[in-house]
Amino acid sequence: MKKLFQMFICAGLTATFILIMGEPLFSQSDEDTSQKEQRIVRPKNTMAGLTIGRVHIASDRYKEIFANPSTATGIEASYLFSSKSHHLGLTFEVRRLSQAGHSTVTNQNTFFFLTPLTLTGKYMISLSDFTPYLGAGIDLFFYKEESHLSLVSGSTPGFHMEGGIYYNPPLFGFIKIRAALRISRAIAKESDIKINLGGLEFGLGILYCFDI
């Protein structure tokens, strides 16, 4: 009976020691799990930053005069409507493209400027550090072509579809890097000549994430 009592006391002390020593480990595990879930479920609801892209303008007339592809730089801002790991986003982007070329008729220097305004609705899903997305939206293209002989300018609406992915570097929770492929169509008409100012674009962006 005495030996049974001693074994019971020893087992009780051992269990108490395990619970005391293991509590920080269990607590840390719960904290890590909570942080991981929070990272996926509650992303920052606003992103803003800089973008750069390579644009292949679809118009054959453009390709005859200017270099293709062209480089476009811009800024963008996004707002997210989140539900667990699935998100809806709305992105507004302004880009600027400029090119110099030679007219095929007069061989005069000619300059082209394009400023697309883009509004995109996106569906996103968070997968750890990566967030792939699909989107579509509308555009408004402002354009200007000038040479010694003429000046042509105007604007035209368009539309686009795109797909891409956001990457969140593990050590920088407030930064996202975006890569996207976009195809667009925007027909401008000048002097009975129709030009498709849309085309194929591959873009990169670096965005700062915050809550508002």
84: left (phi over 0), alpha (psi -120 to 50) or beta: left
**CB contact burial 41-79 (16+ within 10 A = b; e otherwise):** eebbbebebebebebebbbeebeebbebbbebebebebe
SS3 36: helix
- Span 145-157, pLDDT tens digits: 888 777 889 999 9
**Residue type at 90 in one-letter notation:** L
Is the separation of the CB atoms in 44 and 210 below 8 Å? Answer: yes
- Mean pLDDT over all residues of the chain? 82
- Span 73-113, pLDDT tens digits: 999 999 999 877 788 999 999 999 999 887 655 667 889 99
Q: Name every residue whose Cβ is closer than 8 Å to that of residue 41 and which is 6 or more positions away in sequence.
A: 82, 84, 85
Q: How far apart are CA 17 and CA 83, in angstroms?
A: 42
pTM of this structure = 0.76
Using alpha carbons, select from 152, 146, 72, 148 the residue that is nearest to residue 114: 72
Residue with tokens 């195809």: 183
- Span 62-82, pLDDT tens digits: 888 887 788 999 999 999 998
- Amino acid 169: pLDDT: 92
Radius of gyration for the alpha carbons in the chain, expressed in angstroms and rounded: 28
